[in-house]
Structure 1
Amino acid sequence: MIEKKEMEGLAIGVCRMKSGERALLHVGWELGYGKEGNFSFPNVPPMADILYEVELIGFDEIKEGKARSDMTVEERIGTADKRKMDGNALFKEEKLEEAMQQYEMAIAYMGDDFMFQLFGKYRDMALAVKNPCHLNMAACMIKLKRYDEAIGQCSMVLAEDENNVKALFRRGKAKAELGQTDAAREDFLKARKFAPEDKAISKELRLLAEHDKAVYQKQKELYKGLFGPRPEPKPKQTNWLILIWQWLLSLFYRLFKLERHKAD
């Protein structure tokens, strides 16, 4: 069991490489030799990560019965479809890393060099397998919180089918998780255009609206705290000293005029 886990970790890394590529692969202890480690050969301490230096010469295709280059177009697409189905079964069991490994191997059967040669129904057949693999990869990555990679997988599908609802929805969801709310809303609105009754799309748009409202309210409270409440205008107070002084001046002036009049 320990060896199987260790090989799973290595396989996940290798399946993402291309023939002739060299890489330094880091395998976490969970997919390495686990908590117990290994005290025979190789000697690995408990809970130890493993570092592999790997050069990928090529893929062993004996499992498929023949080399990829010897397969017909139908055989190649059929083999990729089988890998996709294996990935779907692993996805249902929440074995996300193993599922992605199968999807990547399926996609490898339909590389750019192969797709470039296809036209008409054969290209449609290949895309009917290839695009769901990219979309399922995106679903795995969203669950694993690898949102940037999920966006990349969805964008590959949208390059072939710009109105693909699942690709728009999953890319929007990944963007929303990254806080790219405007870009996410744009994807969701476009997806809703082609699937107006989809409840999941409506739910995500509602969540974005609630998020925007919460952000606005928070900013409003923040600014209120920074500048304080707006002061209320104070009623003007009557200055009695000035009024008394004005009354006295008026009284002296009248007395002065009265005395002057008597004198005349």
Structure 2
Amino acid sequence: MLLAWTESTLHKFEDTWNEQKPVELVLGKEKKEMTGLAIGLSSMKSGERALLHVGWELGYGKEGSFSFPNVPPMADIIYEAELIGFDETKEGKARGDMTVEERIGAADRRKMDGNALFKEEKLEEAMQQYEMAIAYMGDDFMFQLFGKYRDMALAVKNPCHLNTAACMIKLKRYEEAIMQCNIVLAEEENNAKALFRRGKARAELGQTDAAREDYLKVRKFAPEDKAVARELRLLAEHDKALYQKQKEIYKGIFGPRPEPKPKRTNWLVLFWQWLLSLFYRLFKRERYKAD
């Protein structure tokens, strides 16, 4: 995985971490612009992460690049790189020289290695194997596939993304887990595992409405699934507890609602009203006599 920017202007021109797309680099056959990067990677160990400073002479040179990526002339480059692993010696040939079946087979072997590590709770190592499997099936490769070959590739690629999401949930890297699930859902919008794991990650982030939406979609395809029912019940309990907590908070702020006080009888007002009424009746009687 790679993040690259120019040292002087801090202009970022490549970010495969955000895209979740590992970069394949064949040492000794790399592009001229990646000579410095290849030298730095050759000294790293599998799983290591490092900052690599590359002078312009071993990068994009005196002219730079005005297409893609956009790199100014004579720009020194800083790479933040994570070496997922070396693959050449294990498979015996570069990926570019493999047939479609060989690439899918190599990816599947990496996936199986990752599954074994996952069972042993070696999550970081498992994710490295899944990432290397995914690297066999980059966008350029997938774009060329159709029919049964595309189905074969997705049958390996999508489980690698989903298993990576499972690892990330265990490691509490919930936003990254959601990204992995989204990649699968872009291919299969009704993939139950992707929806369930995305719902799990969203719930952990407190995105309860979005999580519930994912779980309800899963329940359409698996109405008897006990795991989905359990997660929906946990969300309901969470919402209830949150409501009670908010109720207590507001009660503490505003205090209990005061009881209406009984009106006190004002005897002075009553006496004054009675006196006026008496004078009025007397005046009326005297007037009647005069008439």
TM-score range, shorter chain: 0.7 to 0.9
Equivalent runs, 1:55-70 vs 2, <5 Å:
60-70=87-97
The one of 106, 115, 122 aligned to 1:95: 122
1:209-258 Cα offsets, whole Å, 9 max, x none, are: 12222222222222222222222222222222333444455567777889
Q: Closer, same or farther in 2 for the Cα pair 1:234/1:77, shift >3 Å?
A: same
1:220 equivalent in structure 2: 247
Q: Closer, same or farther in 2 for the Cα pair 1:121/1:263, shift >3 Å?
A: closer
Superposition deviation, residue 259 in structure 1: 9.2
1:1-59 Cα offsets, whole Å, 9 max, x none, are: xxxxxxxxxxxx9x95542494999xxxxx98xxxxxxxxxxxxxxxxx8552788x95
Superposition deviation, residue 181 in structure 1: 1.5
The answer to whether residue 158 in structure 2 is matched with residue 131 in structure 1 is yes
Superposition deviation, residue 168 in structure 1: 0.4
The answer to whether residue 107 in structure 2 is matched with residue 75 in structure 1 is no
Match of 1:119, SS state, is coil
Superposition deviation, residue 124 in structure 1: 0.9
* RMSD between superposed Cα atoms in Å: 3.2
The aligned length equals 228
Query: Amino acid of the residue matched to residue 124 of structure 2?
Result: E
TM-score (norm 2): 0.68
Q: Closer, same or farther in 2 for the Cα pair 1:160/1:51, shift >3 Å?
A: closer
Match of 1:82, SS state, is helix
Query: Amino acid of the residue matched to residue 251 of structure 2?
Result: K
Q: Closer, same or farther in 2 for the Cα pair 1:184/1:260, shift >3 Å?
A: closer
State whether residues 23 and 135 of structure 2, in contact with CA within 8 Å, keep that contact through their aligned partners in structure 1.
Answer: no
State whether residues 24 and 135 of structure 2, in contact with CA within 8 Å, keep that contact through their aligned partners in structure 1.
Answer: no
Q: Closer, same or farther in 2 for the Cα pair 1:156/1:255, shift >3 Å?
A: closer
CA distance in 1, matches of 2:97, 2:281: 126
Q: Closer, same or farther in 2 for the Cα pair 1:167/1:263, shift >3 Å?
A: closer
CA distance in 2, matches of 1:211, 1:177: 11
Stretch moving more, 90-99 or 194-203: 194-203
CA distance in 1, matches of 2:149, 2:198: 27
Decide which structure has greater helix share. 1
Query: Amino acid of the residue matched to residue 165 of structure 2?
Result: A
The one of 121, 125, 133 aligned to 1:106: 133
The one of 176, 181, 202 aligned to 1:149: 176
The answer to whether residue 240 in structure 2 is matched with residue 184 in structure 1 is no
Q: Closer, same or farther in 2 for the Cα pair 1:73/1:251, shift >3 Å?
A: closer
Q: Closer, same or farther in 2 for the Cα pair 1:253/1:146, shift >3 Å?
A: closer
